Structure 1
Amino acid sequence: MLKINNLTKRFGGLAAVNNVSIEFEANKINAIIGPNGAGKSTFFNLVAGAMPPTEGTIEYQGMNITGMACDRIARLGIARTFQTTMLFEESTVLDNLIVGHRLRTQSRLWDVIINSRRLRDEEAKCRARAQEVLDFVGLSHIGHRITADISQEEKKRVAFALALATDPELVLLDEPAGGINPEETENLAGLIRKMVDHGVTVCLIEHKMDMIMSLADKIMVLDHGEKIAEGTPEEVRNNPVVIEAYLGSDEDAAA
């Protein structure tokens, strides 16, 4: 589904992502791990179109999307969440999700001015889709609440739902389990599995290794912007280069 070829992003003399090549299969859970500052979020920014690469190409379902605008990439079927949950805090949960499906509508300013039939139909479709994804993430009971008043774990689920409201085929999740407790983390992992079971491919960045090792089909490891390993959780767990750079050995854990 996603093919990355020699992807590089330089900021002055610093290569935040350096010559990374990787392929991610459809209907799989793909993970990116590595130390802080390894280039993981920059990698997501490049794929999602938030910034252009310095070198290399990005192919999505056989189409070259390198340097394409982020809204166009989103319409092609790539959605993204962020480390810091970005929601309209003073709006209701349901209103946050209505915004997501606007990506798939055609109404323009004139439709708003004349309150056109197309606008009314699309508003109804956006509201229906918002309710669908709210049900999917298990939050139908809080759709009426102001977003600022819900828990951090609920905000994480709303962010998932917002991404799903755009009707994506690939979702990029940036540290989805950050700031939540172990039980909530396991519940969120279950939601990620549910997404894949319903045909959405997932690529996630995460520091919680227990979650990643039990969840991912494939893992890529970045360090100082470079790919140092890729493979199954078992292969990555036992890779001496990864142990040295990031995971640490059993002896290190016991020290």
Structure 2
Amino acid sequence: MLEIDSLTKRFGGLAAVNDVSVSFARGTINAIIGPNGAGKTTFFNLVSGAIAPTSGKVVFDGRDVTGLRADQVARLGMARTFQSTTLFDTATVLDNLIVGHRLRTKSSLLDVVLGTKRLKDEERICREKARQALDFVGLGHVENRIAGDISQEERKRVAFALALSTDPTLLLLDEPAGGVNPEETVGLAALIRKMADSGLTVCLIEHKMDMIMNLADKILVLNYGEKIAEGTPAEIRANPVVIEAYLGSEHAAA
């Protein structure tokens, strides 16, 4: 589903991501971990088209997407969430989600002015997609709530739903469990597993190691912008380089 070849991003003399190569299989859950400043979010920015790499290649579902804009990559089926969930807080939850499917529509300004059938049909489809996504994440009951009034955990789920409403095949989730309590973390982990079980490929950045070790099929470890390890949770937990750089002895394999 996703192949990364020698991906590098330099900002002046700093290599934020340095010669990283990795592949993620279709339908799997993949975690990117590492200390703060390791280059994880920059890695996501490069993959999703938010910034262009200095060198290297990104191949998504068999297509070279290196250098494409974020909107172009999104139309090909890659969706992204961010560490901070930003919503239109004065709009309803449903209205926030209608925006997501707009990248699949064809209506123009002329359609809006004339109130064409195409515009009305696409508005109906966008609402249907939004409701389907809300139901998937377990929030169908809040569609008419003002987004600014929902909880942090619900905002996380709405962010998932917004990504799902774009009809993706690959989801990039940046710290999806950040700022929620342990019980809510378990619920979000179950939702991520549900996404993978439905056929989506998931890549996530996360610092909650218990969650990652129980959820991920494969883990990529970055440190100072470089890949220092990749493998299954058991392999990562037993890797002495990873233990020293990031995990600490409490996560070492017994």
TM-score w.r.t. structure 2 length?
Answer: 0.98
> Aligned residue for 1:231?
231
Q: Which amino acid aligns with 1:180?
A: V
Q: Which amino acid aligns with 2:71?
A: D
> Aligned residue for 1:44?
44
Q: 1:106 to 1:14 in 2, by over 3 A?
A: same
Q: CA deviation at 1:115?
A: 0.4
Q: Which amino acid aligns with 2:58?
A: I
Name the CA distance, whole Å, in 2 between partners of 1:196 and 1:13. Answer: 38
Name the CA distance, whole Å, in 2 between partners of 1:191 and 1:10. Answer: 35
> Aligned residue for 1:63?
63
> Aligned residue for 1:169?
169
Q: CA deviation at 1:87?
A: 1.3
Q: CA deviation at 1:69?
A: 0.7
Partner SS for 1:131: helix
Q: CA deviation at 1:251?
A: 10
> Aligned residue for 2:33?
33
Of the structure 1 ranges 242-251 and 176-185, higher mean CA displacement relative to structure 2 is found in 242-251
Deviation sequence 1:20-72 (CA, Å, 0-9, x none): 00000000000000000000000000011000000100001111100101101
Q: CA deviation at 1:90?
A: 1.2
CA RMSD of aligned residues (A): 1.0
Name the CA distance, whole Å, in 2 between partners of 1:250 and 1:41. Answer: 25
Q: Which amino acid aligns with 1:90?
A: T
Q: Which amino acid aligns with 2:218?
A: K
> Aligned residue for 2:96?
96
Partner SS for 1:154: helix
Residues 237 and 251, structure 2, Cα contact 8 Å, conserved in 1: no
> Aligned residue for 2:205?
205
> Aligned residue for 2:113?
113
Deviation sequence 1:173-230 (CA, Å, 0-9, x none): 0000000000000000000011111111100000000000000000000000000000
Q: CA deviation at 1:88?
A: 1.1
Residues 30 and 217, structure 2, Cα contact 8 Å, conserved in 1: yes
Name the CA distance, whole Å, in 1 between partners of 2:121 and 2:244. Answer: 57
Q: 1:251 to 1:191 in 2, by over 3 A?
A: closer
Name the CA distance, whole Å, in 2 between partners of 1:66 and 1:239. Answer: 31
Q: CA deviation at 1:250?
A: 3.8
Q: Which amino acid aligns with 2:7?
A: L
Name the CA distance, whole Å, in 1 between partners of 2:249 and 2:104. Answer: 48
Name the CA distance, whole Å, in 2 between partners of 1:195 and 1:248. Answer: 30
Deviation sequence 1:137-182 (CA, Å, 0-9, x none): 0001110011010000000000000000000000000000000000
Partner SS for 2:30: strand
Q: Which amino acid aligns with 1:46?
A: L
TM-score w.r.t. structure 1 length?
Answer: 0.98
> Aligned residue for 2:20?
20
- Aligned pair count? 252
Q: Unaligned stretches of 5+ in structure 1? A: none
> Aligned residue for 1:220?
220
Deviation sequence 1:97-126 (CA, Å, 0-9, x none): 100010110001000000000000000000
Partner SS for 2:99: helix
4+ residue segments displaced more than 4 Å: none
Q: 1:74 to 1:176 in 2, by over 3 A?
A: same
1:233-252 equivalences under 5 Å are 233-250=233-250
